[in-house]
Amino acid sequence: MMPTGTDRLLPLPVVLHMTSLSKSKIYADIRANRFPPPVKLGPKKSAWRTSDIQKWLAGRAPARIAA
């Protein structure tokens, strides 16, 4: 799926800031299917769709409220 004009690609530092997770936690959660995988932009370059991160954050909000 190609990103649309409103679905920007976010580099890892932005995703780290938005989620307050560490790099190792993000990649562990990707392997465990608990975090959206990145879009590969090259052999050493990845980014995440804004919509994927927003959906993930929205899904986390009820868990934080219930805690």
pLDDT tens for residues 22-32?
999 999 999 99
- The Cα-based distances of 45 to 4, 37, 41, 48 in angstroms read 19, 13, 5, 11
Each residue's pLDDT tens digit, 43-67: 999 999 999 999 999 998 766 555 5
- The Cα-based distances of 12 to 22, 30, 34, 64 in angstroms read 10, 13, 17, 23
- pTM summary value: 0.80
Give, rounded to a whole angstrom, the gap between the first and last alpha carbons of the chain.
35
